[in-house]
Amino acid sequence: MARPNPVVHIALVLAAVYICVPLYFHFFPYSSSKSNFPASGSSNASDDTQSKSNPPALYFLALLNRFILASMSYTWTFMTHLPHVPLYPLRIVLPPILTILHPAILAVKLIMDAVILTPYRIVSKVAEFFYPLYVFCGVACVFGAILGLGGRLLSNALIPSILGQRTAETSLAKPKRSNGSRKKMLR
C-alpha cells in the first residue's frame, strides 16, 4: 500500500487548524456575559424573558446558521490564500536572482521600449490624429454612393414615365451606323 504524501498530510492539518481555530474563537468568544446573543438596544426584563421563551430549536437553527456562514467565510479566505502558499519559498530565492539578472532585464526593457513600444505609440498617435479625417472621408464616400445610387434609380424610374416607353428605349439604345457611310467618311 502506498504511503501518503507527507506534504499533503501537513497541508490538510494546517488547513484544519486554519479553519477550526478561528471558528472556535468565533463561536466561543471570551466575554463576561453568558448569553451568546446579546440583546441590541435596551436591556429590559421583558427582552430577557422573551429570549428565554424561544424554543430550543430556534436557538440551534441560529447557531447552525452562524456556524455555516462563519465556516463558509473562513473556507473562502483559506481558498483565496491557498494558491500563494507554493510561492512563499520564492520569497527567499527570488531577490538574489533578480539582483543578478537586473542588467539583463534592464537591457531587454530598453530594447523592447525602443523596438516595440515607441513605434506602437507613434502609430497609435498618428492614427488617433487622422481618425476624424478618416471618419469624414468614410461618411462622405458612403453618402456619395447612396446619393449616386439613389439618383440612378430615380432617373431610371422617371425617364420611362416622362418620355414614354418607346422613346426611352430608342434614346437608351446605341445608334446603328451603316458601313457605307463609314467608308465614305474615310475617303
Q: Domain residue spans in the chain?
A: 6-31+48-87, 90-172
Q: Which residue has the cell 530594447?
A: 111
pTM here is: 0.35
Cα gap 66→36, rounded to integer Å: 11
Highest mean pLDDT among 23-32, 160-169, 174-183: 160-169
Residue 114 vs residue 35, higher pLDDT:
114
